[in-house]
Structure 1
Amino acid sequence: MTASGRLSAAVPDLLRKRSFRRYWTGQSISLVGDQLSQIALPLVAVLALHADAAQMGWLATAQLMPALLLSLPAGAWADGRAHRRRVMIATDLARALLVASVPIAYVLDALTFTQLYAVALGIGALTVLFDVCNTILFVSLISAERYIEGNSLVNGSRAMSFVAGPSAGGLLVQLFTAPLALLADAVTYLASACCLARITPVEPSAVPPSKGHFTAGLRWILRSRVMRATFAGSATVQFFNFTFHTLFVLYATTELGLSAGVLGSVLGVGAIGGLVGAALTGRLVRRVGIGPAVIVGFAAFPVPLLLVPLADGPDPLVLSLLFLAEFGSCVGAMIVDISLGSLQTALIPHSLRARVNGAYRTLTHGMRPLGALAGGALGTTIGLRPTLWIATAGAVMCLVWVLPSPVPHIRELPNTPPEPAHGAPSASASASSPSSG
């Protein structure tokens, strides 16, 4: 085989399809930018504005609250639109402008917590709209039998962003200060918009609003045993994980004494676990089945984070524990994201896709601001380390919901249920699928 033939064979089939390749490229770039801002925005608050635990909690809440308030109406709105890709492009451009406003205000010596909260709130709202449209665009570019492969590629990019983003973010913060590092994030949103502008998928038809249109997705979730169980497990993880992440940067920089560059490097190297998880998930699904893979992911994601509040002592020991926590958690995150995402994608009818996604985000992502508020309040009241113990132990309780459910018994991806008439939940949507148990 020639060198070019070996290279071609090494390229996944989906990436040979131009539309999916452009979509995947835009997603990959944007995901790196998300990781840049995830470390840079809290560091802006800590290093430039000298935030305390309560202010860190409010900042995280501002970015996460739109998921609770807007996901349901955004999903209903997106299902009624015919051109979701255009909406995604508009949200990318708007997020680029919002992120760029922070370094501009910093250079002008006009940056305040009020602006930081407003930017976080705006980014959160636009991200909700982008994500509910993205679920529809994804199935417009890929056939059902390729869901695991497609999710593996997208989540593999996400794993790579975990490696590159924190390291690059920490380095940029050290070189140019935290606010100026956010300019890189603005550029990634522009790149994502350009990639989306270069594809022309055939999107599912808009669903005309009808009686029950707004709550159809929520009702469909409540009728499915699989969706109910995975919602409860995801909600538990989301609440406690964001209690944890609200205080993690503050804990690492103040109590553990790590610099931005060292913290970013440790997280970046540890995030290689995400690449391992993305590479292993397909094999795991083939060996044990899609449902058991979901259970493995739910367990492997929160358990390693128990090492973070345990970190203490000499710097090499602290850094080793943080690395192991990040590595193990990233392996678990990729397994659960790919396997659960593929299972849910296969279960949801096309005509309900954005509404179900919006309702699911309301129920699960809505836990994030509540977790962030709890983190800020507990961190102020009982201290950072005790709060991290509560957060990491609490996240493991997600298994209480999914273990007794039908999920462990599902071996294959089910066929997508019949399309409900006029967007109403179909009785067969749960009865004819493994979600009925």
Structure 2
Amino acid sequence: MSATLVEEPLLRLRGFRNLFVAAAVSQLGSQISYVALPLLAVTALGAGPGEVGLLSALGTLTVLLLGLPAGAWVDRVRRRPVMIGTDLLRAGVLLSVPVAWWGGWLSMGQLYAVAVLVGAGSLLFDVASLSLVPGLVGRERLTSANSLLVGTGAAMDIAGRSGAGVLVQVAGAPVAVLADALSYLWSAAWLRTVNERPATEQLPFRDREPLGRQIGAGVRFLFGNQILVSALVQGTMANLAFPLCSVLLPVLIVERLGYPEWVLGAYLAVGGLGALAGSSAAHLIGRRFGSGRAAWLVSLATAPASLVIPFLDRGPWLWAAAAAWFVLTFRTGVNNVLLVSLRQRVTPDGMLGRMTATMRLLLMGALGLGGLLAGALGEVWGIRSALWLGALIMALSWIPFLFSPLRRHP
């Protein structure tokens, strides 16, 4: 009987299938806003590099304040209601943007507040979602499940980012943000049908450890595991580099180089295509080389592509930079599947929320710092200084794997 269950296609598992559909539609909307919000700031409010960088950073810097408590809290409650609640929160917050724009009172202050609240909702949603997956599919199928989730997310990146450029050009950025808000409502509706099966019995709140003690246990667990530490350092470097290479693209491509908005959407969609290809190939690459060794080899082989990004300009250099962006996001797709699956596999069920949140605290904090650095460098030394710093960090991000036991992990 157990062998039959293992062979059953993942999308025939009702709980995982509904989580998959909810995540796919939500991701589609999120990628539309990824393009639409900075474009709205640039085109409607005249935002400069510093304001665009801050807008990008605020959503991720929220993790610095909420990351550790969020993980401990998610380990104390059922995950599905958390996900539904954060979907509804993000939908309401995003709906305020087109309402304010149509009413004529939209401001950068409101966009900053939206970024913070959506970032907080995304943190709680992602921690709960990653903690829920092992209970829905079983640990022996985590790589396949994550490959499907990451691959579909990458496909939504392609559709969302390329479609966003067209949607913004045809209907305007506020309509694009409205589409994202509706996607969160759709996600919440599908999540209502996910039957959560807690991996461990949950004690009454009065019988549980103090929150601070639980947070400390999660931090000690992560930093006591060499595999988790090396994955964390590598991911932190990559996450610091990516916003340096991408946050100021609306200013560079649309404002400085004079391309229409759909070109920006198409450039970013190439990244979604790379992540889709990487996540689709991750299972095969991991099976051939071992998960840890595959992550190291792919990171090393793709490192030189980052040095092409700073040359982005009109003509052939736009295409060369887009090709390099594809290579780098291919690496991201592979690593997202293999390293997330490794993290889930080496972490006990009762520690998943805290491990995930501690990881996200540093990984998303690096994204936020990268956005702030991009804005500051763009204001002081120009946009290409941010691109060069991001490229150099990305080119060296394979080094944490070099002397790590992760490199030999199956």
State the TM-score bracket (shorter-chain normalisation): over 0.9
Amino acid at match of 1:354: G
What is the CA distance between 1:25 and its match in structure 2? 0.7
Amino acid at match of 1:31: Q
Kept after mapping to 1: 8 A contact 2:169/2:261:
yes
What residue number does 2:245 align with? 244
What residue number does 1:336 align with? 335
- The 2-side partners of 1:178 and 1:300 are apart by 38
CA RMSD of aligned residues (A): 1.8
What residue number does 1:386 align with? 385
Query: Are residues 1:209 and 2:209 paired?
Result: yes
Q: Deviations over 1:104-128 (max 9, x none)?
A: 1001111001101001110011111
Secondary structure class of the residue paired with 2:397: helix
- The 2-side partners of 1:309 and 1:124 are apart by 28
What residue number does 2:277 align with? 276
Secondary structure class of the residue paired with 2:328: helix
Query: Are residues 1:38 and 2:34 paired?
Result: yes
- The 2-side partners of 1:303 and 1:194 are apart by 44
Name which of structure 1's ranges 108-117 and 211-220 shifts more when overlaid on structure 2.
Answer: 211-220
- The 2-side partners of 1:161 and 1:144 are apart by 26
The 1:139/1:228 distance shift into structure 2, 3 A limit, reads same
Name which of structure 1's ranges 252-261 and 192-201 shifts more when overlaid on structure 2.
Answer: 252-261
What is the CA distance between 1:297 and its match in structure 2? 4.1
Query: Are residues 1:364 and 2:363 paired?
Result: yes
What is the CA distance between 1:397 and its match in structure 2? 2.0
**Tell me, which stretches of 5 or more residues in structure 2 are unaligned?**
1-6
What residue number does 1:151 align with? 146
Name which of 67, 86, 97 aligns with 2:81.
86
Kept after mapping to 2: 8 A contact 1:251/1:385:
no
Secondary structure class of the residue paired with 2:198: coil
Pairing of 1:417-428 with structure 2 (within 5 A): none
- The 2-side partners of 1:395 and 1:270 are apart by 15
- The 2-side partners of 1:92 and 1:338 are apart by 24
The 1:300/1:30 distance shift into structure 2, 3 A limit, reads farther
The 1:344/1:91 distance shift into structure 2, 3 A limit, reads same
Q: Deviations over 1:135-190 (max 9, x none)?
A: 22111211111001000100111110121011111111001111221111011101
Amino acid at match of 1:163: I
Amino acid at match of 1:369: G
Kept after mapping to 2: 8 A contact 1:300/1:328:
no
What is the CA distance between 1:86 and its match in structure 2? 0.6
Q: Deviations over 1:288-323 (max 9, x none)?
A: 111112113434666434322112342xx1331233
Amino acid at match of 2:85: A
The 1:302/1:187 distance shift into structure 2, 3 A limit, reads farther
Q: Deviations over 1:347-376 (max 9, x none)?
A: 111111101111111122111222211111
Kept after mapping to 2: 8 A contact 1:41/1:178:
yes
Amino acid at match of 2:123: V
Pairing of 1:1-400 with structure 2 (within 5 A): 13-81=9-77, 83-204=78-199, 205-206=201-202, 208-210=208-210, 212-269=213-270, 271-299=272-300, 303-314=304-315, 317-400=316-399
Name which of structure 1's ranges 399-408 and 265-274 shifts more when overlaid on structure 2.
Answer: 265-274
- The 1-side partners of 2:118 and 2:266 are apart by 26
- The 2-side partners of 1:91 and 1:169 are apart by 23
- The 2-side partners of 1:223 and 1:130 are apart by 26
Kept after mapping to 2: 8 A contact 1:96/1:189:
yes
Q: Deviations over 1:11-55 (max 9, x none)?
A: 981012222111101111111111111111111111111111111
- The 1-side partners of 2:258 and 2:20 are apart by 38
- The 1-side partners of 2:266 and 2:400 are apart by 35
The 1:302/1:195 distance shift into structure 2, 3 A limit, reads farther
Q: Deviations over 1:400-430 (max 9, x none)?
A: 212111111112xxxxxxxxxxxxxxxxxxx
The 1:30/1:376 distance shift into structure 2, 3 A limit, reads same
Name which of structure 1's ranges 87-96 and 57-66 shifts more when overlaid on structure 2.
Answer: 57-66
What is the CA distance between 1:249 and its match in structure 2? 2.0
- The 2-side partners of 1:269 and 1:226 are apart by 31
Kept after mapping to 1: 8 A contact 2:293/2:406:
yes
What is the CA distance between 1:242 and its match in structure 2? 2.0
- The 1-side partners of 2:273 and 2:319 are apart by 14
Kept after mapping to 1: 8 A contact 2:249/2:264:
no
Amino acid at match of 1:176: A
Scaled by the length of structure 1, the TM-score of the pair is: 0.87
Kept after mapping to 2: 8 A contact 1:253/1:259:
yes
The 1:171/1:248 distance shift into structure 2, 3 A limit, reads same
Kept after mapping to 1: 8 A contact 2:307/2:395:
no
Secondary structure class of the residue paired with 1:215: helix
- The 2-side partners of 1:308 and 1:214 are apart by 39
- The 2-side partners of 1:36 and 1:265 are apart by 12
- The 2-side partners of 1:365 and 1:372 are apart by 11
Amino acid at match of 1:334: G
Secondary structure class of the residue paired with 1:238: helix
Scaled by the length of structure 2, the TM-score of the pair is: 0.93
